[in-house]
Amino acid sequence: MLPSAAPRRVASMMMASLCLLCQLMAQEKPAHDQQPGGAVHVQMHDVMYHYTDNVAVYIRQLAGELVPQKGAMPVFDDKNSFTLHVTAAEMAIASDAMANVLNQYVFSSKDAPIKDVSLSIEKGRLKIKGKLHKKGDISFETESSLSATPDGKIRLHSEKVRALHLPVKGLMDLFGIEIADLIKTGKVRGVKAEKDDLILDPEQALPPPHISGRITQVRLEGNNIVEIFGSPATYKWAEVSARNYMAYQGNRLKFGKLTMEDTDMVLIDPDPRDPFDFYLDHYKDQLVAGYTKTTPVFGLRVFMVDYSKLRRPALRKKPVAKSKRTGVM
């Protein structure tokens, strides 16, 4: 067998072993309490969760459910197959990652009113810079305080608004009715205007897998926007024998060619000195680079290498074809 086929052979053997284990679990493992509607309970601690290459959220702790949106179960390989409904959590997103969300998802359409957004945190305020696209790309800048709305969204209250060559007293002088009109037509998602405030809805603004839940508190720490869902301080957290992990319990969960019945699986960072760096788009690479153990009741404990620590093979240069007539490169 050629050396290049070895990784595929190892991955196939690991998948076959996991498939057999999942079949045994369905037959012999006692059932956990099932979540209604096929939802799989999830608990996370100390996880850097990647949405895309340049959007990641640091999850200090989280409890909730993977709620199926298509079919009867969540599928790891289809980010639109489930919504992560958050019951209690503390998570943070860096200002540059949030700027990427705004540029690449919220204001991504050609006729969006705002372009080239950048965010920074200065003196306890969120500073937003950008360009007014429909007004000749005029630069603007706002300083806002953040708070949670009664219905669990993020309110950005603008305290200072400046724009080049434009007399503005507040946010509505700056944007006019553009944002409200574009929200109605679906060209701006996850943001609405309310007097001189912007209301940000992470459920609509973030790329899949989508999240839902009620934000109860928002604060700024360093260069991060910290969001509190529910009441983490009073939530009854399950005991998990790992430090950095993602634990899944109950109902059915599909990943790769495997379907786990009465799910009992914990994804564990074997190096707890730093957060568990997880990227759903590349979970198979992290799985193959790690190893798996089986509990006495046929649960799975999957030790996965951090995404940032994966060894990525160097790109091979394509050989330049030789001339058939002269043999010269």
- Range from 70-74, 141-145, 236-240 carrying the lowest mean pLDDT: 70-74
Q: Whole-angstrom Cα distance, residue 107 to residue 189? A: 8
Under the banding of pLDDT at 50, 70 and 90, the label for residue 195 is: confident
* pLDDT score of 68: 95
Average pLDDT, integer, range 35-42 = 83
Average pLDDT, integer, range 92-101 = 96
* pLDDT score of 328: 39
Has residue 44 got a pLDDT over 50? yes
Has residue 173 got a pLDDT over 70? no
Q: Whole-angstrom Cα distance, residue 89 to residue 63? A: 6
Query: Bridge-partner residues for 183, per DSSP?
Result: none
Has residue 163 got a pLDDT over 70? yes
Under the banding of pLDDT at 50, 70 and 90, the label for residue 161 is: confident
* pLDDT score of 322: 44
- pLDDT, tens digit, 9 for 90 and up, residues 266-319: 999 999 999 999 999 999 999 999 999 999 998 999 999 999 999 865 434 444
Q: Whole-angstrom Cα distance, residue 275 to residue 81? A: 26
Q: Whole-angstrom Cα distance, residue 54 to residue 37? A: 33
* pLDDT score of 240: 95
Strand order in the sheet with 138-148: 114-122, 125-132, 138-148, 154-163, 197-200, 191-194
* pLDDT score of 3: 47
For a pLDDT cut of 70, what percent of the chain falls above it?
76
* pLDDT score of 190: 85
Q: What is the pTM of this model?
A: 0.81
Has residue 182 got a pLDDT over 60? no
Average pLDDT, integer, range 161-165 = 75
Q: Whole-angstrom Cα distance, residue 152 to residue 217? A: 9
Largest pairwise CA distance in the chain: 79
Average pLDDT, integer, range 169-185 = 58
Which contacts (CB < 8 Å, 24+ apart) does range 117-121 have? 119/95, 120/95, 120/223, 121/95, 121/220, 121/222, 121/223, 121/224, 121/225
- Range from 106-110, 204-208, 213-217 carrying the lowest mean pLDDT: 106-110
Tokens 């724009």 appear where? Answer: 163
* pLDDT score of 168: 63
* pLDDT score of 181: 60
Under the banding of pLDDT at 50, 70 and 90, the label for residue 133 is: confident
* pLDDT score of 193: 77
Where do the domains of the chain lie? 95-226
Has residue 5 got a pLDDT over 60? no
Q: Whole-angstrom Cα distance, residue 82 to residue 35? A: 14
Between 242 and 4, name the one with better pLDDT.
Answer: 242
Under the banding of pLDDT at 50, 70 and 90, the label for residue 148 is: very high
- pLDDT, tens digit, 9 for 90 and up, residues 219-260: 999 999 999 999 999 999 999 999 999 999 999 999 999 899
Inter-CA distances, 220 with 40, 90, 93, 216, 309, Å: 31, 13, 10, 14, 29
